[in-house]
Chains A and B, each alone.
Chain A
């Protein structure tokens, strides 16, 4: 019985190691090392696990600096683990002080690794990243285009400075022009890529000519190097997917084994580590901590903005309220207006969530075979590559709904959503610009009149 268990555990760990290796992680220790780590034996095991943790955390979190020596590794790993919400005693500073690296045993590292594996969907994220590299026939995400705004950095630019320096404005216009040119270019080559992608996908659905027609290998060897590379990539990807499936099959056993590790750890618990004795050292919130500052600043800025917004709204709202309420209007028009407003508000709310339906995540496109019309309303997943793969047993293709996992998306529905989003963004942009135009005109009206200059705005473009 014990033998069986240990053999099974070994298999399970091996499948995990294989998966980690195919996911591109470096420093994956062997299954034997894992087993030894459970018993807190061996210095080399400790070192290996530090390295493993480091490479895992590097991939899943954005560590903004590099470290080479083991001591750096130590602090970075601890910091990263803390950021993930891991609160074991050797990471945090307690009243007992910080545990030095030498005292951290491999078992603890193993448990930490298990934690990282179990929280969030680390493996899935890694799988996704790796499959993006390997599968060139997938639609990559377009998130990369909108970089996150740095909250504080813009505030300190002197607005007046822009106006005084002609050269700056000209440069800005020039850069804007360049940017617009880039946009147009991107749109055109994107179209080309989609066309080629469709051709490649549709040729992969051709009925295979593999009726023992061994065309010679060096027939088109120069051209087929691309194909060979693609074949290699696909093979790697298939291996990766198989390793993942294998791991998923054996996952419960792994967690049982990890449970046993935790058991053995608890049995060896030190006096200082007990739950009661661990309490934070610092009760004071305000401290000079340079990296925490970023978060703190962010929070404060958020609060300020919200306050301003709130007070502004209160003022405007009360003023407007009096005027608008007294007017009777057509019910239809009211509805229309309300619908528009609701749409706009929804669009605003959506901009902060990154749902897959908004199209900014990656997709695996698959050409659908011609479907008979009655099947239109069936939720079942149609065959993707081979027309005959359409049987109900394939997948319970769930679509949308918050909380449910998206497995399959129809292009038509995605198009509708994207169009809505596009309309919303265009609308917002138009509103903002119009407001600015009016503002500028009003503010400069008196001055221009005094100087005798008339500002003629350009005619709106017919879109």
Chain B
């Protein structure tokens, strides 16, 4: 039964590996997802930076904005009735994501949203849907906002889209109006077409100062200005209701310097980490004189008959390694022997190739013999070591209770040349990384296959002639041993007399 258990174990190991890889994939996907929108923000920030560099600050506009801001705050408070809660500083982790809204989760926008939010959306859904032109315009910008690939229905969700647009633009403090409208180059064309008058207006507004409140107001006033060309009253209600839903709308001038975004933190941490790793890797190979001095001194306190170096665990590990090597060698030898026998018997037609293969196998056997001689020496040494250690081994029952067998874990110990710490693998392209990974896995799997084959050929012994096997059994054995179970031979009953 141990053959089956071997294969079962191999399957289990593969499954474990699979779950690990799947876990990793999920983690990477999540990270990428959270990186992508921020990266897009990044793109827009870059774009808007140029716009904002214009130092034209219009004081009148600022005043207007402040007034408007105050009005809106009041309105929000009135509507929601929860004035003190809306602390923009808190930034509670409500899931106010434009992403969510764009997925058409409509009413149930965010758990962290306030009641006012919902109310607002409900009451404004009507005016929103009627405002087709507006929605078109915003859907365009909405589309351009994020290539998140979830906006399959820009028109239908334009309301939410707009809400999300506004919200996200509000939440990005340094954003100017331009960005809030989502002005990546590709959509700017559309916007310009559809919203002629607001165009230049927005531009002006976009040059407002960086004060967060100002931004919000700018954007709002811009919106109102834009809306004036279309349907002003609706816009007001819409904007107000939207404002409700955003505690952040309470821009009571939060501080300019917020905590860095997770993205930037992540990038900086990664660079820091790679720097640290470099230092660590450089340090690990430096010998420490005091340490070896200490080790020597402690060794001096051991008994004189204590073996001078190594340890029982090491010896055990080496025995394992040698056994594995020996198995490999013996299988290699067996197959060589069989093959030469076969070529000899079937060689009648091509003496040249036969000679070549004979020579090759001769060389191979020579090499094998050398390796075996080395191995024997090594094994002799190990046996002596083991005996030396064995003299110090404690008998069971002496001293204390049960013992546990101990095996040294892999790389711990004196395996020279093996880096315990992971070296850095530098690669240049995705294809390279994929190739490296593929090859590593492939080598591991091939190793597994080789082991299994060795086990199979050790256990499945062909019966001698008198014990005639079933043809089906023969077929199975042939396929398992000879083809790795992939293909099967055919057994044909030849009843025609020759």
Query: Which residues of B are found within 8 Å of A40, using beta-carbon distances?
Result: none
Q: Is the CB of B290 within 8 A of A259?
A: yes
CB closest residue in chain B, given A59? B409
Q: Does A92 sit within 8 A of B, measured CB to CB?
A: yes
Q: In whole angstroms, how far apart are the Cα atoms of A118 and B465 in the complex? A: 62
Q: Is A42 an interface residue (CB 8 A)?
A: no
Q: Which residues of A are found within 8 Å of B294, using beta-carbon distances?
A: 114, 118, 255, 258-259, 262
For chain B, residues 279 to 295, give those with C-beta under 8 angstroms from any C-beta of chain A. 279-285, 288-295
Contact assessment for B324 and A341 in the assembled complex, using a CB-CB cutoff below 8 Å: no
Taking a contact as CB atoms closer than 8 A, the residue among B301, B322, B446, B455 that contacts A302 in the complex is B322
How far, in angstroms, from A354 to B415 measured CA to CA in the complex?
9
A305–B326 CA distance with the chains assembled, in angstroms: 7
Indicate if the CB atoms of A148 and B324 lie closer than 8 Å: yes
Cβ-defined contact, A179 with B10, below 8 A: yes
Is A105 at the interface (CB under 8 A from chain B)? no
Report the separation of the CA atoms of residues A326 and B161 in the bound assembly, to the nearest whole angstrom: 87
Bound form: Cα–Cα A290–B393 in Å: 12
Q: Does B168 contact A (CB under 8 A)?
A: yes
Tell me whether A75 and B305 are in contact (CB under 8 A). no
Whether B476 contacts A173 by the Cβ 8 Å rule is yes
A440, B401: Cα distance in complex, Å: 53
Decide yes or no whether A55 CB sits under 8 A from chain B: no
Contacts of A219 in B (CB 8 A): 37-38, 41, 96-97, 168, 171-172
A8 within 8 A of B: no
Docked Cα-Cα span, A160 to B394, in Å, equals: 41
Given A305-B323, A433-B481, A440-B478: A231 and B281 interface contact (C-beta under 8 Å):
no
Q: How far is the CB of B96 from the nearest CB of chain A, in Å?
A: 6
A window 250-289: CB within 8 A of B: 251-252, 254-256, 258-259, 262, 265-266, 273, 275-276, 278-280, 282-283, 285, 287, 289
Complex Cα–Cα for A409 and B433 (A):
12
A237–chain B nearest beta-carbon distance, Å: 6
**Which residues in B have their C-beta under 8 angstroms from that of A76?**
403-404
Say whether B487 contacts A115, CB under 8 Å.
Answer: no
**A118-B295, A214-B173, A251-B291 known; A75 vs B403 contact (CB < 8 Å):** yes
Contact stretch, chosen from B132-140, B230-238, B311-319 = B311-319
The reply on A331 being an interface residue by CB < 8 A is no
On chain B, the residues within 8 Å of A222 by CB distance are 95, 97, 100
Pick from A312, A410, A431, A439: contact of B426, CB under 8 Å: A410
Instruction: Determine the chain B residues whose CB is within 8 A of the CB of A122 once the complex forms.
Output: 412
Q: Mark A110-124, 1 if CB is under 8 A from B, else 0.
A: 010011001111101
Question: Does the CB pair A306–B375 fall under 8 Å?
Answer: yes
Which among A210, A266, A309, A419 has the greatest number of chain B C-beta atoms within 10 A?
Answer: A309
> Once the chains bind, are A333 and B356 in contact (CB under 8 Å)?
yes
Residue of B nearest to A166 (CB): B473
Interface residue A31 (Cβ < 8 Å from any Cβ of B) = no
Q: Do A203 and B425 touch across chains, with their CB atoms under 8 A apart?
A: no
The CA of A291 and the CA of B395, in the complex, are separated in Å by 10
Per-residue contact bits, chain A 124-147, to B (CB 8 Å; 1 contact, 0 not):
110110011001101110111111
Chain A residues contacting B30 (CB-CB under 8 Å) are 223, 225-227
For residue B18, CB closer than 8 A to chain A, the reply is yes
Say whether, besides A83-B406, A172-B3, A433 and B482 are in contact (CB < 8 Å).
yes
- In the assembled complex, B59 has its CB within 8 A of some CB on chain A: no
- Flag if A432 contacts B394 (CB, 8 Å): no
Q: Which residues of A contact B455 (CB under 8 A)?
A: 149, 154
- Asked whether any CB of chain B lies closer than 8 Å to the CB of A39, the reply is no
**Interface residue B56 (Cβ < 8 Å from any Cβ of A):** no
Residue B196 lies at the interface, judged by CB distance under 8 Å to chain A: no
A120-B412, A255-B291, A454-B494 known; A191+B437 contact, CB < 8 A: yes
A29 at the interface (CB under 8 A from B): no
Q: Report the minimal beta-carbon distance from A225 to chain B, rounded to whole angstroms.
A: 8
Interface string of B14-38 (1 = CB under 8 A from A): 1111101110110111111111011
* A20-28, A43-51, A442-450: which lies at the interface: A442-450
Output the least CB separation between A37 and chain B (Å).
Answer: 16
A351 touches B328 (CB 8 A): yes
Task: Judge if B495 is at the interface, Cβ distance under 8 Å.
Answer: yes
Contact of B280 with A245 in the complex, beta carbons under 8 Å: yes
A3 on the B face (CB < 8 A): no
Whether B406 lies near A64 (C-beta < 8 A) is yes
Is B372 among interface residues, defined by CB-CB distance under 8 A? yes
Residue of B nearest to A371 (CB): B428
Q: Known contacts A149-B455, A227-B266; decide if A214 and B437 are in contact (CB<8 Å).
A: no
Chain B 359-376, CB within 8 Å of chain A: the 1/0 string? 111111111110111011
Cβ contacts under 8 Å, B107 to chain A? none
Instruction: List chain A residues, Cβ under 8 A from B355.
Output: 324, 327, 329
Name the A residues within 8 Å of B428 (CB-CB): 367-368, 370-371, 411
Flag whether B419 is at the interface (Cβ < 8 A).
Answer: yes
List the B side residues contacting A147 at CB < 8 Å. 9-10, 13, 451
Known A148-B324, A252-B288, A317-B366; contact A356-B418, beta-carbon cutoff 8 A = yes
Interface of A is mostly: helix
Bound: A285/B385 CA distance, A: 12
Given contacts A283-B391, A305-B326, are A175 and B280 in contact (CB under 8 A)?
no
Q: Does A7 contact B (CB under 8 A)?
A: no
B328 near A348: Cβ-Cβ < 8 Å = yes
Is B28 a contact of A285 with CB atoms below 8 Å? Answer: no
Within 8 Å CB of A312, what residues of B?
Answer: 333, 337
Known: A159-B461, A186-B445, A203-B39. A128 touches B92 (CB 8 A): no
Nearest B residue to A354, CB-CB: B418
A75 interface neighbour in B32, B333, B400, B416, Cβ under 8 Å = B400
Tell which of B13, B260, B334, B477 touches A210, judged by Cβ atoms closer than 8 Å: B260
* A235: min CB distance to chain B, Å: 6
Which of B267, B399, B451 interacts with A93 by CB under 8 Å?
B399
Of B60-68, B120-128, B201-209, B268-276, the one contacting chain A is B268-276
- Which one of B37, B279, B386 contacts A295 once the chains associate, using CB atoms below 8 Å? B386
Contact of B420 with A by CB under 8 A:
yes
* A316 interfacial contact with B, CB 8 Å: yes
Closest Cβ neighbor of A356 among chain B residues: B419
B78 at the interface (CB under 8 A from A): no
How far apart are the CA atoms of A391 and B30 in the complex, in Å? 34
The listed residue (B13, B267, B309, B310) touching A144 by CB distance below 8 A is: B13
Contact of A199 among B32, B256, B333, B457 (CB under 8 A): B32
From residue B415, how far is it (CB to closest CB) to chain A in Å? 8
Choose the segment among B149-157, B218-226, B338-346 that binds chain A (4+ C-beta atoms closer than 8 Å).
B338-346
Q: Least Cβ distance of A284 to chain B in Å?
A: 8
Complex Cα distance A437/B457, Å? 11
- B395–A252 CB distance below 8 A: no
Q: Given A162-B459, A455-B489, check contact A204 B393 (CB 8 Å).
A: no
Q: CB-defined interface of A242-253 with B at 8 Å, one 1/0 digit per residue?
A: 101100100110
Contacting pair B303 A433 (CB below 8 A) = no
Neighbouring A residues of B445 by C-beta, 8 Å: 145, 183, 186-187
Cβ contact of A452, chosen from B99, B434, B495, cutoff 8 A: B495
Q: Is the CB of A255 within 8 A of B293?
A: yes
Cα A182 to Cα B448 in complex, Å, equals 12
- The answer to whether A121 and B420 have CB atoms under 8 Å apart is yes
**A-side contacts of B268, CB under 8 Å:** 208, 210
Q: Which residue of A lies closest to B35 (CB)?
A: A203
Known A-B contacts A208-B268, A251-B288; A140 and B20 likewise in contact (beta carbons under 8 Å): yes
- 7 nearest A-B pairs in the assembled complex, by CB-CB distance: A85-B311, A214-B258, A226-B30, A159-B461, A255-B290, A278-B303, A411-B427
Name 21 A/B residue pairs within 8 A (Cβ), A-sorted.
Answer: A62-B406, A75-B399, A78-B400, A93-B394, A98-B398, A114-B298, A149-B327, A169-B476, A194-B437, A206-B267, A209-B45, A214-B256, A216-B248, A218-B171, A224-B262, A251-B288, A302-B326, A355-B417, A368-B427, A437-B482, A456-B491
